Amino acid sequence: MREIYLIRHGMPDFPGGARMCLGRTDLPLGLRGRLQAALLGAEFAPRGITECFCSALSRSRQTAELMGFASPVIVPGLEEMDAGDWDGLSFDEIRRRWPEYYERRGRDRSLPPPGGEEFGPASRRFLTAVKRAAALSRGDIIIVSHSSVIQTLLCTLEGRPFDCARDFELPYGSVTRLRADASGQMELVSWGVPPRPELTAQLAERLLEAAELPEELREHSLAAAGAAMELVCALAAAGICLDETRVYAAALLHDLAKGAPDHALAGAGLLSQLGYPELAPLVAKHNEPELGADVDEALVVSVADKLCLGGRRVGISARFRASLDKCRDEEARRAHDRRYKAALEAARKINDICGKDVVPI
């Protein structure tokens, strides 16, 4: 018996952020998609699978490459279903231009988009491509492909009509597992399972690499993670033991969504959606710590961020002096002053606990 893992590619970079009907339209991965691919790579790394196949579309090939396969084999037939006249259009536009057909397709889910590929032919060509990949390899394999064609195959394997295809929910970056016997007969084991590798320092570093942040921001993230580890060690010597893996990962990834509105909350939401909700509050509060009775992981991440100007280590006051010029109006200056005072209070609290100035003010 051998295992065949069908992986839906990571989330594409939708122009303007609006979801669209994707068939053969070739979009690259977005930030979330790259992170999903990195998680898939971490999930499969211990399994020792060496052969990976993908479609020619960028989102499929990039997912395979970010998983760690430098040269995935492109197999014709693994492409997504052709979405015809709807390909590359937003769903709002589709509803506006084809209201009756859109409603009809909602009732009969086996209907293709106008001018699009029929389910039967799509299922047959995809199955042929999967068998081709299996014939080109030995042992367990990974096939990175697309949701609709995977769903048609699952209907075929399970003996269901094609209007049940969307019952097989396949999130971006999810894994569908098939088992094949010596004759090539396949059975469905599981579908649509997101990867959840254990949170480690190595995984956090892999996610940072996949995020493809600008170099200055990447250097800042690395510097903040280093500062956070120094604070964790100093606090441990003073009798306060924190979760160093969580602190390191959150400090490394705190600016993951930099550039988005309220990037701290956006980054927290992204990490939670990826399956690491324990990191969300640490990232969400890194701009402005909540000062309670205890020093916790979130406070350490926030202070570590304030000790780094780009990739350079500085004191709290120097960091805030450098950022004051970015305040465009009085409201921004008040927020800046509030955060500065909170950072100073957090720094003094840590220094008092440690009995020395481990946080330069």
10-19, 48-57, 87-96, 324-333, range with the lowest pLDDT: 324-333
Q: Could you tell me what percent of the chain has a pLDDT over 90?
A: 84
Query: Does the pLDDT of residue 324 top 90, yes or no?
Result: no
> What is the average per-residue pLDDT within 193-206?
97
- Are 42 and 197 in contact by the 8 Å Cβ rule? The answer is yes
How many CA atoms does the CB half-sphere of 50 hold within 13 Å? 4
Query: Does the pLDDT of residue 292 top 80, yes or no?
Result: no
pTM of the model: 0.94
Query: What one-letter code names the amino acid at 297?
Result: E
Task: Indicate the pLDDT class of residue 332, thresholds 50, 70 and 90.
Answer: confident
Q: What mean pLDDT, rounded, does the chain reach?
A: 94
> What is the average per-residue pLDDT within 309-317?
92
| pLDDT of amino acid 35 | 98
CA distances from 347 to 67, 188, 281, 297, 355 (A): 40, 55, 19, 14, 12
- 133-158 residues labelled b (16+ CB within 10 A) or e (exposed): bbeebeebbbbbbbbbbbbbbbbbee
| pLDDT of amino acid 293 | 64
Task: Indicate the pLDDT class of residue 245, thresholds 50, 70 and 90.
Answer: very high
Q: Could you tell me what percent of the chain has a pLDDT over 70?
A: 100
> What is the average per-residue pLDDT within 59-83?
97
> pLDDT tens digit string along 18-45?
889 999 999 999 999 999 999 999 999 9
- 202-215 residues labelled b (16+ CB within 10 A) or e (exposed): ebbbbbbebbebee
Q: Is 259 helix (H, G, I), strand (E, B) or coil?
A: coil
> pLDDT tens digit string along 167-196?
999 999 999 999 999 888 999 999 999 999
Nearest in space to 86 (alpha carbons), one of 97, 71, 75: 97
> What is the average per-residue pLDDT within 132-158?
96
> Using the 8-state DSSP alphabet, how is residue 90 labeled?
B
Distance CA 21, CA 94 (A): 9
| pLDDT of amino acid 16 | 84
> What is the average per-residue pLDDT within 200-212?
97
| pLDDT of amino acid 68 | 97
> What is the average per-residue pLDDT within 300-315?
94
